[in-house]
Amino acid sequence: MKIKKLDHVNVRTKQLDTLVEWYTRVLGMTRGERPDFAFPGAWMYGGDENQPMVHLVGIDGDDAVGSEARLKLEHFAFAAADLASFEARLKQYGIEYNRVDNDRVGLIQVNVWDPDGNHIHLDFPFEE
């Protein structure tokens, strides 16, 4: 077996509609098809392959229960293109972000946080 890439991230939230709107407006993702699970949620699609990259799960109880209470995820990242339009979108919506130009690894990293405080960074080619 050889792992090739990260398939998706599953994010639990008490504010499902808010996160759907944020991932659509800020990251340009689209809400797409999702199996008919017995719990609320949304699959957010993106990329050239139009694949579900973020699975949002709506919850009513505690933010973290069971094994999730020990989760130590600091961030998740997307490879991205068109840095100029992304920064313009962030400025248009007043979204705070942190940009790190790292010529050593050939990336420009843009760090943002969704309304639940999840840290996301987008990696753009340094040439942009």
Domain residue ranges of the chain, discontinuous segments joined by +: 9-60+75-125
Nearest Cα neighbor of 123 from 83, 89, 96, 75 is 83
Strand 76-79 with 119-125, pairing: parallel
Strand 51-58 with 76-79, pairing: unpaired
CA distance 38 to 40: 7
Angle at 120 between CA 115 and CA 126, to 5 degrees: 140
pLDDT at 67: 53
pLDDT at 3: 58
CA distance 75 to 46: 18
Topology annotation, domain 9-60+75-125? 2,3-Dihydroxybiphenyl 1,2-Dioxygenase; domain 1 (3.10.180)
CA distance 75 to 98: 14
Q: What is the mean pLDDT of each run of 10 residues along the chain (128 residues)?
A: 78 94 96 93 88 91 58 83 95 96 91 93 90
Nearest Cα neighbor of 76 from 38, 46, 35 is 46
pLDDT at 22: 97
pLDDT at 105: 87
CA distance 2 to 4: 6
pLDDT at 50: 80
